[in-house]
A and B are shown apart, each in its own frame.
Chain A
Amino acid sequence: MIAESGHYALVLALALALIQSTVPLLGARWRDVALMNVARSAALAQLLFVGVSFIALVTLHVTSDFSVVNVYENSHSLKPLIYKITGVWGNHEGSMLLWVSILALFGGLVAAFGNNLPLSLRAHVLAVQAWIASAFYLFILITSNPFLRIANPPIEGRDLNPVLQDIGLAVHPPMLYLGYVGFSISFSFAVAALLEGRIDAAWARWVRPWTLVAWIFLTLGIAMGSYWAYYELGWGGWWFWDPVENASLMPWLAGTALLHSALVMEKRNALKVWTILLSILTFSLSLLGTFLVRSGVLTSVHAFATDPTRGVFILLILCIFIGGSLTLFAWRASALKQGGLFAPISREGALVLNNLFLTTACATVFIGTLYPLALEVVTGEKISVGAPFFNLTFAPLFMPLMIAVPFGPLLAWKRGDLLGAAQRLVAAGIAALVAIALVWAWTYGGATLAPLAIGLAVFVIVGVLCDLAERVGLFRIPLSISWRRARGLPRATWGTAFAHAGVGIALIGIVCETTWNSEYIGTMKPDDVAAIAGYQLRLDGMTQRQGPNFREMIAQFTVSLDGEKLSLMTPSKRNFTTRGSSTTEAALLTRGASQLYISLGDTAADGAIAVRIYHKPLVLLIWWGPVLMAFGGLLSLSDRRLRVGAPKPAKAVRALQAAE
């Protein structure tokens, strides 16, 4: 009964979504309050039914009901409880159900907390949400139904892909989906604005929290996925420019651009049309990511099953939504009123520059990801566009952007003073030069670009501190007043500071890891010692152990530094009988922000084992950076105050610098 109730709940959600996608629009057209209000209750009911459906599927997985095909194919009665639950979205059908559940969640949140929205805007937004939802409910029910049954259920399931039997699966997909799907709200707001034919600064104020939430989750989701790949796949790599990773990076880049342009719109009522376009593009890229991952066009850990009908269906959804929204944009955008004016050198100008770089970076990733696919479809030729392409195109675009980052917040709205900003950044410049000199001297004869990149990162971080010092008037006025001012600064300002510093910190991690990473690859027998980056790792021996649904071989290493014993590391190889496959569990030893990394290879006949040992200096900064960015986003989100971008008057007395 649980399975069928879940199935029926999903069907009811589809029926509600169809009503929600039409009736409120009629209501808005005829200005009927009751019809517009249908959107709200229908969205909440839809959330309820999808929730029931999702909980039903979780229950089926937990109770190992193998009469459900989805459970039989992806679960095993011996799996630990946590993996029974996470296994729900560790497969195609379940992950699509999670996708629509999150979509319904966002719709429900708009319905529940959107009281400050004009009624017709809310009706439009929820109707557009329901269009997306209807398309995906149909997709799930027709091509990827998680509730299909087996009349004679087998006694045991086929188990989940062992690589996915990890705590990462509990965190990474839900976060990423919260990010991907969260951008559907800004998409719906944009389409609603186009349908209503009017848009203003207040629109940006209303969209702000949704975009921020989506961006925070997407940032964390990508970082989490990268860390998971790093420790689970056993290669020690954290970013492969794999099309699936790119598919998540593109919405992030577009979303970051959107955050910044929406800022201009909210505070200065400018860049309105551009912001609308970015909203559409960001969600379109999310949809594209879903298509790439779910259609089976790409083969990777993420492509659970390949089925051409699914690919065609998603492609159809993609074309209708992206094509439709862009057509609507082309048709209605000219009718939107243009916003405020600003000088090229101003905070607005800096944010436009930011948008230019981010969207160009996004475009290069787009080309690098899709060009090989398109070429294969057209000519059948297989090429691979790998890290060299992206490093050559992406890095040159990001470097100038990083230089510009500290200048932005120091410029005044409407008309800025570049020279003044530069003067305030002198301290950051000096710090950067000192950092370059120090790193260069320390690694004399090594890479030449690395010290420069580190100097750039230091410039960004110290630049952020300069900005803060400037705002609170540090050293210019008594400390107690500075302190009071610091506490009075809007939390959004602190958020900006944290997010920008996070970028610098991540850059340091990336540069250090790629430049000064050292590795030892070889076979070791018990009592062999490998030396790497000053550490000695002795292989003590290997033992077998029985896990809940796997057997594992654990190797024990003693790590010592200059003859002094530090710690034990126990990498292992797990063998999963049901799927007949094995995974490597790397062992990590964290020292500050650096890590030692051991992963096991195959065992030779004579008892020797292949090992890969890496020393990765400051590697953790790569993920601390995004966490810091997300924290900055959270601070900004918690700032519920209205934002005003006070323009700098044409002939201003330079009293205080313009702030938020």
Chain B
Amino acid sequence: MTLWFVFALMTVAAIFAVLWPLSRARQASLGASLGGNEAVVYRDQLAEIDRDMAGGIIGVAEAAAARVEISRRLLAASDQSQSEAPVQSNLKLRRTAATLALVGLPVIAAGVYLALGSPQLGDFPLSERSRAADANQPLANLVAQVEAHLEKNPTDGRGWTVLAPVLSRLGRYDEAVRAYRNAIIYAGDSADRRADLGEALMGATGGVVTAEAKSEFERAVALEADDAKANYFLGLAAEQDGRKADAAAIWQGMLAKAPSDAPWRPMVQAALVRVGGVSAPGGVSAPALPQGAMAAAKDMSEADRSTMIRGMVDRLATRLKQNGDDVEGWLRLVRAYLVMGDRDKAMSALADARQAVANDAERLRQLNEGLKNLGLDG
């Protein structure tokens, strides 16, 4: 309501600005105040000549010549002002102008404003919105607040420790990596943080244990030999590198040392099944994604998830292009393309794979076997 009141006040002010001179017409016409005119300027110029001559700036002869010229202009100017029509007062015109202001101005203003404006929207200054923080606020806003706090207090280790896992869960891995690094710098090094950092790095690369991530896991293990997460991912790294026996050894070692009620037992057992180490009870299906990436994928929209998967597949393809010995990898790639419905790419990957392992009879046999299982030609 106040908004419309303010608009009304502003409109009245604008109309008043037009009507005011119209209402003062009578006095103005009587005084016939036509403002300044040329004659005034020339008279001032004449006075100026006298002053200049007195000050010695121009000579007597020049002054005389200038005076003649200016007097001529002065005469011309007064001739002109006399020939001009006298000032009139046209009541009809004034009424038209007044009507224009009273009707036209609000109509134009309202018409244009209603077409463009959003009168239903109030103000949203940031300070008021932050104060209204409550449980209903989306997670992103809370994160933004913590981030804002950390921009100002970048050495707050506790803040970084709180922020990092949230970012990781939101799938903002690059920022999570930075947050974990800062947490390590300002809140102290620990095996957990190193392992989490490694996991975030993996998330950023779509689930591939890069050299960078691997070195973080190694550091975590160096700090605490039994760190479950770091050990699990070191095993995964070995698996991704094609060293299945090493992976199995690492995971078996974990299972041997772990208490029987460790929550991660089923997952490691499943992984072990995957690399053909020991068969696990119940035949749990193997998680294809690292834990973090999996959790993130669950919250993602369909589009985001497919982008993420696509990214992982692309990375796998790149890795295989550099090192084509990994038959298992080739099979995974072909399968991925088939699942994604991209048969052409699957076929070209298949051809690449054949070419890559052509020199190795044993690998070629494994490849053909695998392809047969996928339902492709032998």
- Interface positions of A (Cβ within 8 A of B): 1-5, 7-9, 11-12, 14-16, 18-19, 23, 26-27, 30-35, 37-38, 40-42, 44-45, 48-49, 52, 63-67, 77-78, 114-122, 141, 145, 147-149, 151, 153, 155-156, 198, 200-202, 205-206, 269, 340, 485, 488-490, 546, 548-549, 641-649, 652-653, 655-656, 658-660
Contact = CB atoms under 8 A, between A and B. Distances in A.
A2 B122 CA distance: 8
Given A12-B109, A40-B21, A656-B56, A156 B144 contact: yes
B224 to A, nearest CB: 29
Interface string B13-51: 110011011101100110011111110111011011100
Given A15-B14, A646-B63, A32 B77 contact: no
A115 B85 CA distance: 21
B222 to A, nearest CB: 25
Contacts of B109: 8, 11-12, 14-15
B35 A65 contact: no
Given A149-B118, A648-B65, 10 more contacts: A4-B121, A11-B112, A15-B108, A16-B18, A32-B25, A34-B21, A35-B94, A644-B66, A656-B62, A658-B58
A152 to B, nearest CB: 10
Given A11-B113, A269-B73, A646-B66, A33 B124 contact: no
A648 B85 CA distance: 38
A658 B33 contact: no
A41 B18 contact: yes
19 contacts: A5-B3, A12-B14, A15-B105, A16-B105, A32-B88, A32-B89, A34-B28, A41-B18, A45-B17, A63-B123, A118-B37, A201-B42, A642-B47, A644-B48, A644-B49, A644-B52, A646-B49, A649-B65, A656-B57
A72 B118 CA distance: 16
A16 B14 contact: yes
Contact of B125 (A41, A64, A156): A64
B3 A1 contact: yes
Shortest Cβ-Cβ A-B pairs, 7 listed? A45-B17, A34-B25, A63-B125, A37-B21, A116-B36, A646-B66, A646-B62
B301 interface: no
Contacts of B93: 26-27, 30, 32, 35
A8 B7 contact: yes
Contacts, number: 269
A649 B97 contact: no
Contacts of A3: 121, 123
A658 B62 contact: yes
Interface of B: 2-3, 6-7, 10-11, 13-14, 17-18, 20-22, 24-25, 28-29, 32-38, 40-42, 44-45, 47-49, 52, 55-66, 69-70, 73, 76-77, 80, 84-90, 93-94, 97, 100-101, 104-105, 108-109, 112-113, 116-119, 121-127, 129, 140-141, 144, 148, 151-152, 154
Main secondary structure of the interface of B (DSSP, over half): helix
B87 A202 contact: no
Given A4-B121, A32-B93, A488-B57, A42 B35 contact: no
A67 B56 contact: no
A642 B70 CA distance: 12
Given A40-B21, A647-B66, A200 B48 contact: no
Given A116-B36, A644-B45, A5 B11 contact: no
Nearest to B124: A67
A655 B73 contact: no
Contact of B85 (A31, A485, A643, A646): A31
A15 B113 CA distance: 11
Given A1-B3, A12-B109, A65-B126, A201 B73 contact: yes
A141 B36 CA distance: 37
A647 B62 contact: yes
A202 B123 contact: no
Contacts of B21: 34, 37-38, 40-41
Central interface residue in A145, A149, A546, A646, by most chain B CB within 10 Å? A646
Given A156-B144, A649-B65, A652-B61, A641 B48 contact: yes
Given A16-B105, A34-B89, A119-B34, A488 B148 contact: no
Contacts of A201: 38, 41-42, 73
Contacts of A49: 10, 14
Contacts of B69: 269, 340, 647
A122 to B, nearest CB: 6
A152 B242 CA distance: 50
B27 to A, nearest CB: 10
B10 A19 contact: no
Given A16-B105, A33-B29, A34-B89, A42 B18 contact: yes
B20 A41 contact: yes
Given A32-B88, A649-B61, A78 B151 contact: yes
Contact of B104 (A19, A647, A655, A656): A19
Contacts of A64: 125-127
Contact of A149 (B100, B121, B129, B151): B121
Contacts of A116: 35-36, 40
A153 B17 contact: no
A7 B77 CA distance: 46
A202 B43 CA distance: 11
Contact of B17 (A44, A200, A269, A648): A44
